[in-house]
Structure 1
Amino acid sequence: MLGWTDQRPLATLLPEAEAKKITSAFGYRTAGELLLHFPRTWSHHGSGVSLDGATEGEQVTIVGIVTYANTTFTRSGKKLTKIVVEFGASHAGATFFNSVVAQRQLTVGKAVMLSGKVKYFQGRAEISHPAFIVLPEAGEKPKKAVGTLRELSAYGSASQLEELLSSLEYIPIYPAKKGVTAWSLLGAMSHVLDQTPPIPEPLDQVPSGLVSFDEALRLIHHPDSRGQQPAIDRIKYNEALSLALVMALRRADAQSYRAPVLPASEEGVRAEFLRNLPFELTAGQRKVIADIAQDLAQPHPMQRLLQGEVGSGKTVVALIAMLQAIDAGCQCALLAPTEVLAVQHARDLTQLLIDAGLPTNVVALTGSMSTATRKKALLDIMSGQADIVVGTHALIQESVEFFDLGLVVVDEQHRFGVEQRDMLRGKGSHDRTPHQLVMTATPIPRTVAMTSFADLAVSALHELPAGRQEIQTSVVPEFKPEWVARAWERIREEVAAGRQAFVVCPRIEGEGGVEETFDYLRTQIFPELNVAMLHGRMPAEEKDAIMADFAAGGIDILVATTVIEVGINVPNASVMYIREAHSFGVSQLHQLRGRVGRGEYKSLCLLHTTMEPGTPSVQRLFDVAATSDGFGLAELDLRTRQEGDVLGTAQSGTKRRVRLLSLLSDRALIERANADATALVARNRSLAEHLVSDIEGQDYLEKS
């Protein structure tokens, strides 16, 4: 962490058996890995520690006061001890079979720490035969051992460990696993910390207002009268600074690259396009266009992220930027994630340019092209005849050579890794790096994280252009059959009014899939309507034909997978029904919803779910239905899924590089770390590089 590592093997610091248990449970092999296993909470002088919404079967540790204790016998003659532990406003039960120790020591009024698997019975938490410790009172010097201290005996005598517990103002409660309890981790941490010499400050100075790193690492495990907050603040700062330094180094490097200078011209295709626009740009679009124009005129490459609601006009902004590059004699590339979207982009850009009376040449390049068409496209790209090249991953192949690439636009940027984007940017000529504009319709959680660390210049389009219609969103739960029936009836009403509908399914085959739903709708629900299906396994020609027929109004209802998620533009489609919407992410639901409301008609999005009422999944759908703000939904997604591995490739929060830092609630700390990182890189670059040298993959940041 930020210039500090401790590679001492646990096997040399802990008893062999205990080191093996920890390695087996958590994978930790070194002192550094163990010491970064922070407590999940702390008990102040035995104060209550709750279950924190633990799920059935989860290993939990609670601290509280025994308020009920009773021992009886079962029909088979087993001794059964039952207790109730109260913590704050909550309580949990625990049962012990044939435990003389539990009967003798777990008496009413005792402060105890329990660790075991939680089960729920009629809404009440129960822990069966948990491991436990009776906590001594604050400052008490025990005369004899109390509680179950077998797991701690490897780290000292029972009385020594009791003394440790009684000396701690705050008892750390660690995330535990089967075979390794919270208090065995307490013993291990104390043992390792006792053998750890003072840690030199990794930074060139202790940050103002924060404790040293050595003090923070010790304080977080053994808080004193100040509590744990000073340690948490410093460790959060370290996490923020680690990420900010990588970004600051990358920004500094980008400033050293040479880019083609592409100033905006008062004449040329850009000015002509702006004069002939058949609609008025929003204030947000005008602001972003001006910012991009200024970036493109600089001798170092633009790195800008354009965030905008579905339909907010990002494509027009990108086209104006590309026309600025064309005026300066350079080519542009637009990278799209799918062939359907690439072909549609090429078609839409061509039509916009034709409508403006401009001779600009747009060329598409996809993997399914015929050999002859592909050869012609490659020749146009190499000779400079192609002004704008729109394509999929096919653009990245070695066989593609640009005459003079000046600007790269990446659409739906979360679909591409940084290596892929860098390969395209590497196709610049004359040792110049093309400018880059990346776009996203709805920031996914990691995008929010990356923009929080200021790696990219960020622009946002919040306004919707004139003509975009509001989309009403409703949840359709399967447990209310009348709602499901009404949803199908609403689709029939929209079609009767001359409009069209999407029905999106989470899979192709099986129950609730495209094939089953298609058959069900055309034979039982809408036999009088023209229903078609579309999914990714179909041949490209068939998919294109179906989409063309739907766009032309020949299909009433299109049953599809998320192949229609991005870029499909059918203004006459006014209703979308998403089956099993709970199986999609928040951002994906917002993307899908954006396929309707693109014309003159008020539109409807129906979120179907088979989940039971009151579950978090159903609540999440109601949250999505309650807001059309994609930026607000991105924060909801971030709260739901966590930040993910901000510098790596993990798309969700199952893998997190930050342990304590919250990208939602620690914004002020993040902003301070950003400023400090920039200053540190400027005054001592070698130290900055050393501090982040242990971060894997920093040369290939996945800034999606």
Structure 2
Amino acid sequence: MGRPQGELSALPVTALKGVGDKFAQVLAKLHIATVQDLLFHLPLRYQDRTRITPIAALAPGMDAVIEGEVRAADVVFSRRRSLVVRLQDGSGTLSLRYFHFTAAQKNRFARGVRLRCYGEARRGAAGLELYHPETEIVDGGSFSAPDTLTPVYPLTEGVSQARLRGLVQQALELLARCGAEELLPAELLPARLRYPLTEALRYLHCPPAGADLTQLADGMHPAQQRLALEELLAHHLSLLELRRNSAVHAAPALASNPALERDFLSRLPFAPTGAQRRVCAEIAEDLARNRPMMRLLQGDVGAGKTLVAALAALKAIGAGAQVAVMAPTEILTEQHRRNFSDWLEPLGIPVAQLTGGLKPAERRAQLAAIASGEAKLIVGTHALFQAEVAFHRLALVIIDEQHRFGVRQRLQLRQKGGDGAVQPHQLIMTATPIPRTLAMSAFADLDCSVIDELPPGRQPINTVAISNQRRDQVVARVQGAVAEGRQAYWVCTLIEESESLQAQAAETTAAELAEALGGVRVGLVHGRLTADEKERVMNAFKAGEIDLLVATTVIEVGVDVPNASLMIIENPERLGLAQLHQLRGRVGRGSIASHCVLLYATPLSQNGRARLQALRQHSDGFAIAEEDLRLRGPGEILGIRQTGEIQHRIADLQRDAELLPQVQKIAASAALTESTRRQLIARWLQNKPRYAEA
């Protein structure tokens, strides 16, 4: 297995003892293809098995090695059948509990047998217990303590901790002979992080006995920080590379059409805010160039992003091209269609709509209008990027609530803009403000515009948190609002992801409220309704024919009913802050004071309490986003936790925010060669999907 220095990145895992082609495929699920990948597959946490802890010194939640003598082993029948082994060590007694066991296993635990166990102490009915601990029978010999902490690695099906630890040990032997290639010149690193890479890797896989577990758990050991800096740098360089690559493509330069824009603005019943005008100027400057615009437009709920999008669309339409507007839900798509139609059709600009719910004849007609160029602005869901959709001359793609779409979906839509050499401009909008630290790292390939001013007349929303035990008072509050001629939302949230279960819960709630609120007209909207049914209900609510709209979180974005002044969110502790802020933004859109009631279930967890408190304290979306990042992490904010596409191996964007200016400085340094840049990206990202490739 001996190899010359610098080749660990090229040495396949099959070179390790015990790894054949089949097991290599299993390791590939962990993005491990080479020995270097294995070395950079870092532990999640550590176990201290370096000493035996007396039973009397155990506390709930503590992981520990204990050793004692079996006093009894009995099968107990309570709520679940279990094997309970009583263990005594001279300082005290505890129980080992097994819910899955065999007769042979029970027989091993004969009275007087000496056991060494490792597990987590938990409170049980008769004192502390270890559930399914790792055990070995000892013959009275002295305890042979390991001299390092035991690492716990991220796993996938088909890989055990023991097997992965064995492979890492083989990789560390190779590392000792070859060394890890230092890609960053020492002078580029801050003094405190000039920690040799080979030593950092060895330390993090095998911390010595007595290492500071708290420091390691917090990710603040210099070895961790050294690697976090390099990982953040690799991600940053990758995004800069994407930006450079997109800049080599041509894009149609879109000259402005002043007469068309003046006509549009003269018909508005209001004047754009200063922030809207500033952002429009930034976008106009981008669109006038012959390279693709890649701009992220951030604006809090109700800041007027749609108007900015319409003015951007006029640039393309005025130049004889087409615009595609993609939204994540059919409800939001319909609202965009209505807004754009109201604004553009008086100017003689037809608006088409393409969603999955269209009837075949309607779909054929819309596809023909898009292909011929007759449709200038096309609003749609993900149906826009399906194979049969052919644009005549697509020059601008506007993506609303970008985090709700997969990267590949956005990429597919961009590729519909031309022959590969010419690509459309992209404007990506979000009402989920991205914290500054996250934007610096996750959107380094995008220019960023912020609408930081709300239109005049927007009312502040009073937010209160009320226990579900006072539900009757909340129902009475709804009755009072309706009696005053106002409308209200009642949002149901469920842990279950099943749309049918969510629909059932919403239906049950709607029926209960209709019974409790005699005379109040109750409507219902959820994900199981067809597009036509949703539209019918929403139109009735907008027209004032429904007083109380019961809904799932399907109404999270975009729905605009100025007369709705009361929002009830049931079980808000199940949602993230950004989503709660979005829901709250459905009220306060008129000229009257509005209220949001967070109807929480008890008992409320500490994290849940912190989230609701943050929502009550802040009305600014950026402050909420920072708090959401602190409480939940970056993957949730960007909406891609489920894809695993922003899962850093060791870096944490919130914890390591202070490293980001250093990362940007290193990335801009001339001392970092093009070859080194490519090697850094390959080291950290070569086997992982890139989450911003659109």
Per-residue deviation, 1:439: 0.8
Q: Which moved more, 1:421-430 or 1:468-477?
A: 421-430
Is 2:481 the partner of 1:494? Answer: yes
Is 2:99 the partner of 1:115? Answer: no
Q: Secondary structure at the match of 1:174?
A: strand
1:635-654 equivalence runs, <5 A? 635-644=626-635, 650-652=640-642
Alpha-carbon distance in structure 2 between the residues aligned to 1:301 and 1:595: 33
2:197 maps to which of 213, 237, 262: 213
Question: CA separation of 1:253/1:619 partners in 2, compared to 1, >3 Å: closer, same or farther?
Answer: same
1:399-478 equivalence runs, <5 A? 399-429=388-418, 431-443=421-433, 448=438, 452-478=442-468
Per-residue deviation, 1:184: 11
Q: Secondary structure at the match of 1:547?
A: helix
1:517 matched residue in structure 2: 509
Contact kept, 8 Å, 1:641 with 1:652, in 2: the verdict is: no
Amino acid at match of 2:88: T
Per-residue deviation, 1:573: 0.8
1:174 matched residue in structure 2: 151
Per-residue deviation, 1:536: 2.6
1:111 matched residue in structure 2: none
Q: Secondary structure at the match of 2:243?
A: helix
Per-residue deviation, 1:389: 1.7
Amino acid at match of 2:585: G
Question: CA separation of 1:124/1:239 partners in 2, compared to 1, >3 Å: closer, same or farther?
Answer: farther
Question: CA separation of 1:46/1:226 partners in 2, compared to 1, >3 Å: closer, same or farther?
Answer: closer
Q: Secondary structure at the match of 1:501?
A: strand
Per-residue deviation, 1:177: 10
Per-residue deviation, 1:702: 5.0
Contact kept, 8 Å, 2:232 with 2:441, in 1: the verdict is: no
2:295 matched residue in structure 1: 304
- Identical residues among aligned pairs (%): 36
Contact kept, 8 Å, 1:246 with 1:698, in 2: the verdict is: no
Q: Secondary structure at the match of 2:235?
A: helix
Alpha-carbon distance in structure 1 between the residues aligned to 2:87 and 2:581: 54
Contact kept, 8 Å, 1:245 with 1:678, in 2: the verdict is: no
Alpha-carbon distance in structure 1 between the residues aligned to 2:634 and 2:170: 33
Q: Secondary structure at the match of 1:311?
A: coil
Is 2:655 the partner of 1:665? Answer: yes
Q: Secondary structure at the match of 1:692?
A: helix
Q: Which runs of 5+ in 2 are unaligned?
A: 1-5, 54-58, 75-84, 97-108, 494-498
Per-residue deviation, 1:688: 1.1
Alpha-carbon distance in structure 2 between the residues aligned to 1:672 and 1:41: 29
Calculate the TM-score normalised by the size of structure 1.
0.76
1:676 maps to which of 660, 666, 684: 666
Alpha-carbon distance in structure 2 between the residues aligned to 1:118 and 1:692: 42
Question: CA separation of 1:441/1:451 partners in 2, compared to 1, >3 Å: closer, same or farther?
Answer: farther
2:490 maps to which of 495, 503, 513: 503
Alpha-carbon distance in structure 2 between the residues aligned to 1:284 and 1:46: 62
2:43 maps to which of 34, 38, 48: 38
Alpha-carbon distance in structure 2 between the residues aligned to 1:123 and 1:669: 49
1:620 matched residue in structure 2: 611
Alpha-carbon distance in structure 1 between the residues aligned to 2:90 and 2:342: 75
Q: Secondary structure at the match of 1:520?
A: helix
Alpha-carbon distance in structure 1 between the residues aligned to 2:274 and 2:251: 29
1:138-149 equivalence runs, <5 A? 146-147=142-143, 149=144
Alpha-carbon distance in structure 2 between the residues aligned to 1:115 and 1:449: 43
Per-residue deviation, 1:575: 1.1
Q: Which moved more, 1:572-581 or 1:536-545?
A: 536-545
1:550 matched residue in structure 2: 541
Calculate the TM-score normalised by the size of structure 2.
0.77
1:203 matched residue in structure 2: 183
Q: Which moved more, 1:189-198 or 1:244-253?
A: 189-198
Per-residue deviation, 1:202: 5.0
Alpha-carbon distance in structure 2 between the residues aligned to 1:579 and 1:677: 46
Contact kept, 8 Å, 1:446 with 1:646, in 2: the verdict is: no
Alpha-carbon distance in structure 2 between the residues aligned to 1:672 and 1:281: 38
1:396 matched residue in structure 2: 385
Q: Which runs of 5+ in 1 are unaligned?
A: 49-53, 86-92, 106-113, 134-143, 150-161, 166-170
Contact kept, 8 Å, 2:492 with 2:551, in 1: the verdict is: yes
2:247 maps to which of 255, 263, 271: 255
2:284 maps to which of 270, 293, 298: 293
Amino acid at match of 1:258: A
Alpha-carbon distance in structure 2 between the residues aligned to 1:407 and 1:590: 29
Per-residue deviation, 1:82: 5.3
2:349 maps to which of 353, 360, 378: 360
Q: Secondary structure at the match of 1:268?
A: helix
Amino acid at match of 2:586: R
Q: Secondary structure at the match of 1:550?
A: helix
1:89 matched residue in structure 2: none
Is 2:371 the partner of 1:387? Answer: no
Amino acid at match of 1:497: E
1:110 matched residue in structure 2: none
Alpha-carbon distance in structure 1 between the residues aligned to 2:132 and 2:372: 77
Deviations 1:305-361 (Å, cap 9, x if unpaired)?
Answer: 11211111111111111112223332211112222222221211222346xx63333
Per-residue deviation, 1:418: 2.4
Alpha-carbon distance in structure 2 between the residues aligned to 1:223 and 1:446: 34
Contact kept, 8 Å, 2:47 with 2:63, in 1: the verdict is: no
Is 2:500 the partner of 1:535? Answer: no
Contact kept, 8 Å, 1:83 with 1:94, in 2: the verdict is: no
Deviations 1:71-109 (Å, cap 9, x if unpaired)?
Answer: 997799x98525789xxxxxxx9668967868xx9xxxx
1:61 matched residue in structure 2: 63
Contact kept, 8 Å, 2:564 with 2:587, in 1: the verdict is: yes
1:484 maps to which of 458, 462, 471: 471
Contact kept, 8 Å, 1:582 with 1:617, in 2: the verdict is: yes
Question: CA separation of 1:659/1:615 partners in 2, compared to 1, >3 Å: closer, same or farther?
Answer: same
Deviations 1:493-520 (Å, cap 9, x if unpaired)?
Answer: 1111101111122365489711111111
Contact kept, 8 Å, 1:2 with 1:691, in 2: the verdict is: no
Give the alignment's Cα RMSD to 1 decimal. 4.6
1:272-351 equivalence runs, <5 A? 272-274=263-265, 277-351=268-342
Alpha-carbon distance in structure 2 between the residues aligned to 1:488 and 1:472: 17
Deviations 1:600-630 (Å, cap 9, x if unpaired)?
Answer: 1211222223341445334433333332232
Deviations 1:471-497 (Å, cap 9, x if unpaired)?
Answer: 22222322x3xx211111111111111
Q: Secondary structure at the match of 1:12?
A: coil
Contact kept, 8 Å, 1:407 with 1:436, in 2: the verdict is: yes
Question: CA separation of 1:508/1:557 partners in 2, compared to 1, >3 Å: closer, same or farther?
Answer: farther
Amino acid at match of 1:300: R
Per-residue deviation, 1:367: 3.4
Contact kept, 8 Å, 1:475 with 1:609, in 2: the verdict is: yes
Per-residue deviation, 1:545: 1.8
Alpha-carbon distance in structure 2 between the residues aligned to 1:654 and 1:122: 39
Amino acid at match of 2:398: V
Q: Secondary structure at the match of 2:624?
A: helix
Question: CA separation of 1:486/1:290 partners in 2, compared to 1, >3 Å: closer, same or farther?
Answer: same
Contact kept, 8 Å, 1:303 with 1:456, in 2: the verdict is: yes
Question: CA separation of 1:446/1:383 partners in 2, compared to 1, >3 Å: closer, same or farther?
Answer: farther
2:259 matched residue in structure 1: 268
Per-residue deviation, 1:561: 1.9
Question: CA separation of 1:27/1:456 partners in 2, compared to 1, >3 Å: closer, same or farther?
Answer: closer
Deviations 1:393-428 (Å, cap 9, x if unpaired)?
Answer: 232233333332211101111222222222222232
Alpha-carbon distance in structure 2 between the residues aligned to 1:303 and 1:84: 66
Question: CA separation of 1:336/1:653 partners in 2, compared to 1, >3 Å: closer, same or farther?
Answer: closer
